């Protein structure tokens, strides 16, 4: 019986040893596989775009107010507040607010003292008849014309009556603004620009009024002086016929410089590295090569850049560029408009 027991014990020990050996082999294989995975390079999924040659503009942004155009050497002001020519009482009002009138239209008549507008009209007609018959002097005719003119409020320009401030029977004097006429086809947008920024302004520069729809025009006037009350410089741009109204407050921007055919990168591809430099990540095969750049104008999602060896159609990382280390292994998963990005050389 003892030899049989000894044989069984040897078999059990042998099986246990084989099990331990197999366990160590399995653990070793697992450790090797884990080390290989840890040493494998990380692949980052990104999106890419391409550098392009574009035209970019530099803007001065601000707000402006729509108002009537001021007087020029060739035209009167587009807005005319009308005062009574003399003290008196309003006899008739011949217009209503919103009515279009032509230059010279009599808007209202006055009675002054013992002289009425009707009597003055009759006296002028009589003097004209007598003068035609050589029965009165030119001075008498001119005096009759002047007396009637004092009793009439006439439109000094063609435009729209924007205000009527009096009614028949109202007492007025030479300081009373009785009505206002405005040419709504001659409007400007006025803006006040901080003096340091106003150095960039010149008449003729493009102005974009950012309404719906937008209005394109150009600077017609830049004040040579600074308003000491607020440190700003007045600038104006003549508006084409539009639906803008006097008194309207509008956003605008002035194009102060234009760079044509400049190299530009998608805005999301230009990021700041740990040293505070602007960089882009060029796609080179399956790597992202970090490249320092100098930036310029920004417009419509594009940034002007300058850098060594860069050219149009070079592929750059867009989505995923922020915080991406140099020479990271990447996989481009998509590109704008479904285009396949070119590989940088």
Question: Which CATH architecture is the domain 77-182 placed in?
Answer: Beta Barrel (2.40)
Instruction: Please tell me the predicted confidence (pLDDT) of residue 113.
Output: 85
Q: Mean pLDDT in runs of 10 for the chain (345 residues)?
A: 55 52 51 51 88 96 96 92 95 96 96 91 93 93 93 95 96 95 96 95 96 95 96 96 91 96 96 91 92 94 95 94 90 64 41
**DSSP assignments along 236-292, one per residue:** EEEEPS-S--TT-EEEEEEEEEEEEEEEEEEGGG-EE-TTS-EEEEEEETTEEEEEE
Query: Among candidates 146, 179, 135, which has minimal Cα distance to 160?
Result: 179
Q: Are 226 and 165 in contact (CB under 8 A)?
A: no
> C-alpha 242: how far from its chain's center?
17
Residue-level pLDDT at 10: 54
Structure tokens at 215: 């209005």
Q: Are 241 and 264 in contact (CB under 8 A)?
A: no
What kind of fold does domain 59-66+185-258 have according to CATH?
Elongation Factor Tu (Ef-tu); domain 3 (2.40.30)
Predicted local confidence at residue 243, as pLDDT: 86
What's the rounded Cα separation, in Å, for the pair 153 and 170?
14
pTM (predicted TM-score): 0.71
Token pair of 56, please?
């970019």
Spatial distance between the Cα atoms of 224 and 138, rounded to a whole number of angstroms: 49
Cis peptide before 213 (omega within 30 of 0): yes
Q: Pick the closest to residue 78 from 183, 204, 209 (CA basis).
A: 183
**Domain 43-56+260-338 fold:** 2.40.420
Q: How many other β-carbons are positioned within 10 Å of the β-carbon of residue 49?
A: 24
Domain boundaries, the chain: 43-56+260-338, 59-66+185-258, 77-182
Beta strands in 102-248 (DSSP E): 106-111, 152-154, 159-164, 171-172, 177-182, 187-194, 206-209, 215-222, 232-239
């Amino acid at each position: 019986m003892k030899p049989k027991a000894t044989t069984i014990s040897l078999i059990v020990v042998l099986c246990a040893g084989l099990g331990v050996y197999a366990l160590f082999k399995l653990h070793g294989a697992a450790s090797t596989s884990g080390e290989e995975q840890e040493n494998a390079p990380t692949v980052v999924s990104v999106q890419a775009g391409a550098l392009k040659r574009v035209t970019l503009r530099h803007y001065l942004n601000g707000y402006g107010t729509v108002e009537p155009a001021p007087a020029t050497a060739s035209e009167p002001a587009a807005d005319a507040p009308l005062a009574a020519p003399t003290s008196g009482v309003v006899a008739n009002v011949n217009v209503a607010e919103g009515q279009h009138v032509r230059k010279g239209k009599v808007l209202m008549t006055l009675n002054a003292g013992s002289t009425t507008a009707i009597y003055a009209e009759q006296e002028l007609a009589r003097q004209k008849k007598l003068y035609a018959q050589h029965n009165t002097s030119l001075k008498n005719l001119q005096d009759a014309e002047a007396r009637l003119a004092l009793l009439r409020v006439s439109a000094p320009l063609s435009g729209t009556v924007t205000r009527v401030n009096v009614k028949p029977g109202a007492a007025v004097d030479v300081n009373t603004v009785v009505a206002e006429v405005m040419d709504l086809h001659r409007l400007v947008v006025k803006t006040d620009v901080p003096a340091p920024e106003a150095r960039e302004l010149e008449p003729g520069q493009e102005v974009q009024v950012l309404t719906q729809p937008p209005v394109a025009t150009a600077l017609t006037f830049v004040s040579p002086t600074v308003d000491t009350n607020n440190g700003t410089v007045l600038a104006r741009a003549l508006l084409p016929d539009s639906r803008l109204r006097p008194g309207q407050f509008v956003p605008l921007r002035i194009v102060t410089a234009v760079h044509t055919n400049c190299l530009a990168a998608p805005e999301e591809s230009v990021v700041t590295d740990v040293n505070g430099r602007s960089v882009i990540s060029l796609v080179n095969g399956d790597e992202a090569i970090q490249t320092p750049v100098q930036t310029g104008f920004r417009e419509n999602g594009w940034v002007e850049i300058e850098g060594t060896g860069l050219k149009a159609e070079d592929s750059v990382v867009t989505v995923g560029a922020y915080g991406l280390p140099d020479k990271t292994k990447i996989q481009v998963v998509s590109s704008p408009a479904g285009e396949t990005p070119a590989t940088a050389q």
